[in-house]
Amino acid sequence: MFSKAFRVKSNTAIKGSDRRKLRTDVAAAFPALSSEQLSELVPNREELNVVKLYAHKGDAVTVYANNRNPVLFEMEKTLYPTVYTLWSYPDLLPAFSTWPPVLQRLAGGADLMLPGVMVPSCGLAQVQRGTLCAITLVGNRAPVAVGVATMSTAEMLAAGMKGKGFTVLHAYTDHLWGFGDKSYPPTIAPLVAEPVELESTDDDDKDEEGREPDSDLCIAPSLQMDIGNLNLQEGDGCARLMEEEEPGETGAAEMAEDLAEVQLEAEDGRTPQERMDELLHQCFFHALKCKVKKSELPLLTSTFLRNHMFSCCPEGQQLDIKKSSYKKLSKFLQYMQQQKIVQVKELNKGVESIVHIDWKHADIKSFVVPEVCSAVSTAPESKCGDGEQLYHAPEIIPLYGVSTKMAPLFQESGHKKGSILSSSDVRNIIISYVKTNELVDETNKNFVKVNPILCDCLLDKWEQDEILKLKWDDLLSRCLEQLQPYHKVTFFGHEPIVRKGNLDPIDITIAQRSSNKKVTIIKNLELYGLDPQLVANTLQQRVQASATINTLPGAKDRVQVQIQGNQINHLAKLLLVGLLVILQRNTSYIGNIFKGWRRLQSLAGRSKYV
């Protein structure tokens, strides 16, 4: 409720009649208060102000302040005590205890989850759903938060202490506390002197999730601390930790994780922040050394974190930059840029990208990949991270079919109409035909004399009276042009496929949709063995735009990729690697492949990629 700054509407002194009415309302809301305590809380003569304000979500709240300290606040005609009041009257509300690390979460606006509630040996306080409760820390009865129970005590135990237990309205170090004198909580000893035990209603869950210590485990001495020594930041410090989270977003796992961090700190002597800094550096250098390729640059910093650094995090650990000393990825990369390891630039407004990596830097070269991670990195690379096969370029061979017009020329070699030949077969047949019929020009062997069959097959009508000789190259090219085009495609692990016609190039177009929005449409990816879904997913991650797969109009078994915006440049860099692999395997088919590449080049308006 008060995890973020509120807006004060008015601040006035309360009048005598209003003071008496307030005392009556407080007595009705908290019958456990004696008349003396009631007079202390709502005094007759001391300064008492009523402050009307609006919380960050727009809720109207009335706060009653005694000597500038808020003692009560009212929402929807319901009165609630503040932590200042509960420190004077710790037994005013039924109390539930939690661990010190959880306090920062509560101050940031999170609700209290049941796995974060400590169950004492004497049992939990008996409450009903909707009961107003106080939340304390282990080892100190001074309340640090006020909340409403979301279920009864019986329901909490029946649920195995899982789920949301309390909706937190106000906590120590939030903005309502900051509205007062910002004093520290007092130290109030627990009523029960015996060691506190943690119990669980479900032994299986306890072993499975590992969130709660064993039932005979006493509270660690490091947790039995004076709350005054917590050294929490005043004002908005804690609120900023959860600035982006709304109440209820912090789950049970996070609270259990905080508890584990405190216990781990006691074991190895390092703070959670120091361990997170070490993990951050390890994942960073591991990603640079083993994951990132030069062809991926420039690389969005968010993509680098999500696709590369997170994947380098050892199993059982979680990388959280907010828990490091850097707090933000941009600050961490700025430090690495000062060390001249990477270079980061803002290519688009508000979006940073890594544009250069010095792989020869001593820190990268000296980094040793941990054994657990190296075992994963050295695994067979026949599959990518998603379990999909890595891209294997198809073998593409152009073929030629004997047409009716060309049948007389190939008749002597035993081929008839419909025969399919390779370019080398056609060349050998033509050479054999010329030599057999003694058509090589005697004066210049670079020319071939045109006989009636060659004339009918290769020359146009207007050429038949003019051309008597052809160069060898001209003869072969004319022959190939007159044959019907075919092509054979062999995909990795599959039988060759022969199709009639030329292989369509990868088609990339920019289309305009409603509201002047542009989309990039990619067709014919599957013809080259490229998975449209994988291309769509990769583009979506790189450019941070939605990508969809649609059926190609006019083709039942073909699809097209559509991605928001003009993504030609990103697509050029992505496809360049695949096209180069295809070209390496299919030099004889380079012309047809480059039809698609020239189209891509003209759309991108750049030639540096070719």
Question: Which one-letter amino acid corresponds to residue 72?
Answer: L
In the three-class reduction of DSSP (H, G, I as helix; E, B as strand; rest coil), residue 497 is classed as: strand
Query: Which element (helix H / strand E) includes 551?
Result: strand 547-551
Domain 395-490 has CATH 1.10.760.10: no
Reported in sequence order, the residue ranges of 108-205 that DSSP labels E, i.e. its strands, are 112-113, 117-118, 132-137, 140-149, 164-171
| Residue with the two structure tokens 């009639």 | 500
Architecture of domain 504-591: 2-Layer Sandwich (3.30)
**Pairing, β 507-512 against β 497-500:** unpaired
The rounded average pLDDT for each run of 10 residues, N- to C-terminus, in the chain (610 residues) is 82 84 91 88 85 85 89 92 93 92 86 90 89 92 94 90 91 90 86 46 43 37 39 37 39 52 56 88 90 85 85 82 88 91 85 90 86 48 42 79 89 87 89 89 89 88 85 89 89 80 86 82 82 80 79 78 82 64 50 50 44
Residue type, 282: Q
Per-residue pLDDT at 581: 53
Q: How many residues does the chain have?
A: 610
The CA–CA distances, whole Å, from 589 to 220, 229, 399, 507 equal 72, 75, 10, 17
Q: Which CATH class is domain 7-179?
A: alpha beta
Note the pLDDT of residue 196: 42
Q: Can you read off the two tokens belonging to residue 577?
A: 């690697």
* Identity at 315, one-letter amino acid code: E
Place of tokens 């003869």: 475
Return the pLDDT at 93.
94
Q: Is 149 helix (H, G, I), strand (E, B) or coil?
A: strand
Give residue for tokens 């928001």: 564
Distance, CA of 176 to CA of 350 (rounded, Å): 34
Residue ranges of the domains in the chain?
7-179, 272-366, 395-490, 504-591
Predicted local confidence at residue 315, as pLDDT: 77
CA triple 548-553-558, angle to 5 deg: 65
pLDDT of residue 92: 92
547-551 β-sheet, strand order: 507-512, 518-523, 559-564, 547-551
Name the pTM for this structure.
0.38
State the pLDDT at residue 228: 40
Helix (H, G, I), strand (E, B) or coil at 424: helix
Beta bridge pairs of residue 550: 560
State the DSSP H helix or E strand holding residue 435, giving kind and residue range, or none if neither.
Answer: helix 423-436
Provide the b/e sequence for 498-535 (b: ≥16 CB within 10 Å). eeeeebebbbbeeeeeeeeeebbebbbbbbbbbebebb
Over 11-75, what HEC string results? EEECCHHHHHHHHHHHHHHCCCCCHHHHHHHCCCCCCEEEEEEECCCCCEEEEEEECCEEEEEEE
pLDDT digits (tens, 9 = 90+) for 233-285: 333 333 333 333 344 444 444 555 555 555 555 455 678 888 889 899 999 99
The rounded distance, in Å, linking the Cα atoms of 62 and 75 is 7
- The domain defined by 272-366 carries CATH number 1.10.10: yes
